[in-house]
Structure 1
Amino acid sequence: MVLKNPIRKKSLVFGLVISLCIPTIAYGKEPAARSNSAGQIINLVKGTNAASIPIALNLPSSPAFVPKKKGVLAGKGPIAEANIHQDLFLQNAVQFASDMEAGNYGQALKSSSRPLKKSISEQWLEIYWTTLKQQLQPQAGSFIGFGTAAVKESNRVHKNVEVELQFERVMYPFTLRLDRSGKVDDFQLTTYTGLVASDPAYSNPHSFTEKDVVIGKGDFALPGTLSIPKGKGPFPVVVLVQGSGATDKDETAYALKPFRDMAHGLASKGIAVLRYNKRTFEHAAKISADQNHTVDKETTDDALLATRLLEKEKKINDEQIYMLGHSQGGMMVPQMINQDKRQNIAGAIVMGGPARTFQDVGIDQFHYLLSIGQIPQQAAEFYTTQFEMLNDPDFSGENPPDEFLLGQAMFWDSINDIRAAEMAKEQNEPLLIIQGERDYQVVSDIEIPIWKEELSHRNNVEYRLYPKLNHFFTEGEGEMSLPAEYLAPVNIPEYVVHDIAEWVKSKPNKSE
């Protein structure tokens, strides 16, 4: 992807930097304050859960810069589409967006699903919509109106409708998720529409099949895909668990689709793979409004529900279910094993997973990014101060300090004591710990020695280090990677997939 405008490129990379360092930040319960420029501070909410941070840092990730299209409706009323009345889902999504822009938040809430109504209020919707436009205005200009609308994807949980938000300079896709009855169940700003990596050359689609599945049930059911090698089976299976933030089943990160690469590569080598949309992706608004959101809700619980689904699959060997956790997902692998009451997990792959706490790793990230000029001093100081609060043994998610401004304090309280290597000391499930040596987000020279020291007494832990790879396991040059590498549409190298496949195939059934 080529970004000719240097200002736009800088803004995109800056947003990318921050989005890869911190989880989603929740909106609060009071009206948002106004802001003037991208470098100033915005108060998203008032009270103890206020989130006063540089506004460029608060977007889940930096949206794509899309040129203004010809023929876009330049008004703030309903979207003019010839087929809009022919599709209930399209019509309801458009009406919901139009109601928010018109200030009819009560009507928008009335057309929402029961789970969404339980999670948000009219006031929350007003804060969300007002703050969203405020944050986009410095780089996008004033909001003009809506562009086109189209049904983009259907899965077994939601039908997704994309509505274009047209600003003076750019357009942002806005995704609304509707349930089977046509009610709006969730929504989020689509964050990137640039080039993405194609299916890797080592994928052999003729050697496996894929089917849609649903992880869990009820308000937070998740759509997923099970890739199964052709043949009689039963096959060993790997469950893919994402890192921090709101990511889909492919763990799409700008131009990269590492979990799609992993799923198709492993399935081509005779290993089944289950991947699914993360809860913070499929149910973004409901999660953002949940002040009791925790890392177990976000990661652990759904990963274990995935193993229960696999118990029922005839072509899956339920004694060879392996977890593969990337980044935060890798950090949570020992927690998954601890909470695996049904003892479904036969072993796990930790892919770029921290051995230390989330906040200690995060502080190192910001120091590095400041040193190479990727973030301003203000941002580094803000997040360092916030993360350091989590190291206070008296930090409480129920009663956080007034100075704690990252929102969802219960989430941070739930993650701040997770020390993966230490937790894995007394566990027996075999581990494969893999790491890119150019990874600036989880630095191998710091994390791997801790893993090795804590697990030195265990004889069923193996390590693989890759000199050319970054945090998303794609290749690059130089001693340490840069955030801009994630904008290059490339695949995970086949040698990584090969190593994982060989490790899985070398493991006997749990009962042997």
Structure 2
Amino acid sequence: MKNAQSDSIYACFDVKMQQAVPLSQLKDMWAQVEQQVGSLEKEKEWKQDAIDGTVVYYTDLKFQRASLRFLVAFNTEHKVSGLRLLPVPPEEKPLVVPFDSIHLEESPVEVVTGNYKLPGILTRPKGKTHLPIVILVHGSGPQDRDGSIGPNKIYRDIAWGLGAQGIAVLRYDKRTYVYGKASVPEGKDITPEEEVIEDAVSACQLAASLPFVDKQKVFVAGHSLGGLLAPLIATRCPSVNGLILLAAPSRPQDDILKEQIRYLGSLNGNTDEALLAQQFQQVKASAPQAYWDYLNKYAPVMTAYSLSIPMLFLQGERDYQVTMQDFSMWKLGMFGKTNATFYSYPTLNHCFMEGTGKSTPMEYNHPARLSEKVIEDIAK
């Protein structure tokens, strides 16, 4: 565009674009822009986002008199299917809801497992006793106590939301977030045992020991990987009286990973099976074989079926990471069990945030809050 190589750009257009934007119009486009807003002074790095499930690429350009966003979209044949110059939208600010210091209080806690000490925080209604308590168990990856993803803090949303409903919440930094590679002794391969379960059991024991907690109302809320492992955590910790499984996988990990990779590839029009297989192997190589072996031996649905405590299964229908197929398998596996309740939400994604169209990883970069409906259902 800058070098007026309009023939090259036109050749990259798909048929619809070539019909919509004739070559003669393309030749004058950049000159007209500079005539209106002055010469180009600075261009920022390229980023990507998604509009209704279509991946678009953009860079923000600073001209003398205005800033414009240069947006390009491609079709599945990698031809340009959209090209636009728009005003740069105002910067999105995180949706911060102020902490209700009148009705709630927060205090630091430490979840201790052997030599591992994890800083955490306890949220509770002020001056109340005999409280139900929820222990939040993270998804995969090194996550902090707030479940921070982009500008969003989904576990903090749950803690503050449940606190407002008279429920205490314990959340803590994950071991892999605090200790990294030192999360297991040197020479030992990490498994979900060290990554999640040991510390979750310690957190449950801590929660049950708190003087203001109703010992008959200790609940574990596991998100994603935490939801997958929640039934196993309950078998290890008799003080747990109920489970909330948020977007919990129920199928073999290999099946889920392949499905995720294929879905993400489809957003960019990538259907090359060899490349997808290579990406799958890269994901598998990010954890030792002992990690995957542990998950392959674990039977989450059967473990959950063996439990007599109440279980609440929650699922966003726009979730591409853990899908409605997983939710259906939980339902099928719990058939006939009166202690299992199921809710799904048509407009929510993997982080239980609102959206429209196909869910994409880029939507986590936009400020949002975990759905109030989900918090209400957990509280009930």
Aligned counterpart, 1:456: 335
Distance in 2 (alpha carbons) for counterparts of 1:379 and 1:318: 52
**CA pair 410-428 structure 1, distance change in 2 beyond 3 A:** same
Task: Provide Cα deviations, 1:47-80, integer angstroms capped at 9, x if missing partner.
Answer: xxxxxxxxxxxxxxxxxxxxxxxxxxxxxxxxxx
- List alignment gaps of at least 5 residues for structure 2: 1-41, 51-90
1:434 to 309, 314, 317: 314
Aligned counterpart, 1:324: 221
Aligned counterpart, 2:376: 498
Aligned counterpart, 1:473: 352
Identity %: 32
Kept in 1, the 8 Å contact 2:136–2:170? The answer is: yes
- Secondary structure at the residue paired with 2:251? coil
Q: CA deviation at 1:233?
A: 1.2
**CA pair 468-275 structure 1, distance change in 2 beyond 3 A:** same
Distance in 2 (alpha carbons) for counterparts of 1:224 and 1:458: 35
2:124 to 225, 228, 233: 228
Distance in 2 (alpha carbons) for counterparts of 1:249 and 1:328: 15
After superposition, where does 1:345-356 map in structure 2 within 5 Å?
Answer: 345-356=240-251
Aligned counterpart, 2:145: 249
**CA pair 473-217 structure 1, distance change in 2 beyond 3 A:** same
Distance in 2 (alpha carbons) for counterparts of 1:270 and 1:489: 26
Q: CA deviation at 1:323?
A: 0.3
- Secondary structure at the residue paired with 1:284? helix
With normalisation by structure 2, the TM-score equals 0.73
Distance in 2 (alpha carbons) for counterparts of 1:266 and 1:405: 38
Q: What count of residue pairs does the alignment treat as equivalent?
A: 298
- Secondary structure at the residue paired with 1:332? helix
Matching of residue 365 in structure 1 with residue 243 in structure 2? no
Whichever residue aligns with residue 279 of structure 1, its letter is R
Kept in 2, the 8 Å contact 1:205–1:264? The answer is: no
Kept in 2, the 8 Å contact 1:291–1:408? The answer is: no
Kept in 2, the 8 Å contact 1:215–1:276? The answer is: yes
Q: CA deviation at 1:308?
A: 1.1
Kept in 1, the 8 Å contact 2:130–2:212? The answer is: yes
Distance in 2 (alpha carbons) for counterparts of 1:296 and 1:374: 37
Kept in 2, the 8 Å contact 1:363–1:383? The answer is: no
Matching of residue 483 in structure 1 with residue 380 in structure 2? no
**CA pair 494-411 structure 1, distance change in 2 beyond 3 A:** same
- Secondary structure at the residue paired with 2:312? strand
Distance in 2 (alpha carbons) for counterparts of 1:490 and 1:328: 22
Whichever residue aligns with residue 337 of structure 2, its letter is R
Task: Provide Cα deviations, 1:226-284, integer angstroms capped at 9, x if missing partner.
Answer: 11111331100000001000000001112221000000110011000000000110111
Structure showing the higher strand proportion among its residues: 2
Whichever residue aligns with residue 199 of structure 2, its letter is D
Kept in 1, the 8 Å contact 2:113–2:198? The answer is: no
Q: CA deviation at 1:490?
A: 1.1
Distance in 1 (alpha carbons) for counterparts of 2:379 and 2:269: 36
**CA pair 314-195 structure 1, distance change in 2 beyond 3 A:** farther
Whichever residue aligns with residue 354 of structure 1, its letter is P
Task: Provide Cα deviations, 1:433-476, integer angstroms capped at 9, x if missing partner.
Answer: 000000010111x1121111110020011111111100001011
- Choose 1 or 2 for highest CA Rg: 2
**CA pair 5-347 structure 1, distance change in 2 beyond 3 A:** farther
Structure 1 stretch displaced more, 310-319 or 275-284:
310-319
Task: Provide Cα deviations, 1:16-71, integer angstroms capped at 9, x if missing partner.
Answer: xxxxxxxxxxxxxxxxxxxxxxxxxxxxxxxxxxxxxxxxxxxxxxxxxxxxxxxx
1:336 to 233, 242, 246: 233
Q: CA deviation at 1:5?
A: 6.7
Distance in 1 (alpha carbons) for counterparts of 2:280 and 2:193: 24
Distance in 2 (alpha carbons) for counterparts of 1:469 and 1:290: 41
Distance in 2 (alpha carbons) for counterparts of 1:418 and 1:382: 26
Whichever residue aligns with residue 178 of structure 2, its letter is E
Distance in 2 (alpha carbons) for counterparts of 1:290 and 1:195: 45
Distance in 2 (alpha carbons) for counterparts of 1:272 and 1:497: 13
Whichever residue aligns with residue 263 of structure 1, its letter is A
Aligned counterpart, 1:416: 296
Aligned counterpart, 1:177: none
Distance in 2 (alpha carbons) for counterparts of 1:6 and 1:418: 47
Whichever residue aligns with residue 440 of structure 1, its letter is Y
Kept in 2, the 8 Å contact 1:323–1:347? The answer is: yes
Distance in 2 (alpha carbons) for counterparts of 1:196 and 1:253: 14
Task: Provide Cα deviations, 1:100-134, integer angstroms capped at 9, x if missing partner.
Answer: xxxxxxxxxxxxxxxxxxxxxxxxxxxxxxxxxxx
Kept in 2, the 8 Å contact 1:330–1:349? The answer is: yes
With normalisation by structure 1, the TM-score equals 0.55
Q: CA deviation at 1:376?
A: 8.2
Whichever residue aligns with residue 119 of structure 2, its letter is P
**CA pair 330-314 structure 1, distance change in 2 beyond 3 A:** same
Aligned counterpart, 2:71: none
- Secondary structure at the residue paired with 1:239? strand
- Secondary structure at the residue paired with 2:249? coil
Distance in 2 (alpha carbons) for counterparts of 1:207 and 1:364: 44
Distance in 1 (alpha carbons) for counterparts of 2:241 and 2:119: 24
- List alignment gaps of at least 5 residues for structure 1: 14-193, 388-403, 503-512
Kept in 2, the 8 Å contact 1:356–1:418? The answer is: no
Kept in 2, the 8 Å contact 1:195–1:255? The answer is: no
Kept in 1, the 8 Å contact 2:135–2:207? The answer is: no
Distance in 2 (alpha carbons) for counterparts of 1:284 and 1:290: 14
Whichever residue aligns with residue 138 of structure 2, its letter is Q
